[in-house]
Amino acid sequence: MKNVLVVATVVIASFVAGIAAAQQKSPQKMSTEAARGKYLVQTAGCNDCHTAGYASSGGKVEEKLWLIGDTLGWRGPWGTTYASNLRLSVKDMTADQFMALSRSELRAPMPWFNLRDMTDRDVKAIYAYLKYLGPAGKPAPRYLPPDQPPAGPFVQFPAPPR
Ligand code: HEC
């Protein structure tokens, strides 16, 4: 009798543990729109700058770390810019606000002209994917004007040819 009880307890305990593990492992299901956004992010190169280590590792960065920005500076005649933490950017932004931002001129080397030329549908899909990923990480370092040298690592753009 005692053995039966022990077995039953173990069975129940592992069942409960199984449910807990399943709940932890299955994050929110990705919508078709967000899945398209993920595809666009991957193929349009957003991770190359907005995900630390993505370009240098050949894309071997866990998805949960994608698009949280980078501390690597990009220095040129425009000053020093840092690829923004896009997951924090959209935290308090509506889809319309993200659309407006995606249609505006941003500092180099952000290829804002590529984003500007994306269809509304694609920009909305990227927004949906950023919302799916959810906020994480810290904001990227702040932009520095040309006369302020960056403290951390940076990529120096050569001066334009004269
Ligand atoms: C070559 C590097 C690079 C690539 C590739 C890149 N970005 Fe950026 N992005 C930046 C930098 C640097 C900034 C910050 C610009 C600034 O300070 O004005 C930025 C800023 C942004 C911003 C403004 C964020 C805010 O909160 O103001 C958005 C939105 C954005 N990028 C989206 C994208 C998307 C979407 C892609 C892919 C289609 C992409 N970026 C690809 C470097 C890049």
**Separation of CA 49 and ligand 1 centre (Å):** 8
Is residue 54 in some structural domain? yes
| Structure tokens given for 35 | 């899945």
In the chain, how many domains are there? Answer: 1
**Separation of CA 126 and ligand 1 centre (Å):** 12
Task: Report the nearest atom of ligand 1 relative to the CA of 118.
Answer: 38
Q: What is the pLDDT along the chain (162 residues), one digit of tens a residue?
A: 555 555 555 555 554 454 444 444 556 799 999 999 999 999 999 999 999 999 999 999 999 999 999 999 999 999 999 999 999 999 999 999 999 999 999 999 999 999 999 999 999 999 999 999 999 999 999 999 999 999 999 999 987 777
The model's pTM is: 0.86
Cβ distance 86 to 106 under 8 Å? Answer: no
Cβ distance 71 to 90 under 8 Å? Answer: no
Place of tokens 């998805």: 63
Beta strands in 65-153 (DSSP E): 73-76, 79-82
Pocket test for ligand 1, best of 48, 106, 112, 118 (most atoms within 8 A of CB): 106
Is residue 5 in some structural domain? no
**Strand arrangement, sheet containing 73-76:** 79-82, 73-76, 154-156
- Selection from 88, 59, 89, 53 nearest residue 72 by Cα: 53
Is residue 8 in some structural domain? no
* Length of the chain in terms of residues written: 162
Is residue 10 in some structural domain? no
Is residue 11 in some structural domain? no
Residue closest via CA to ligand 1's atom 2 equals 49
Is residue 17 in some structural domain? no
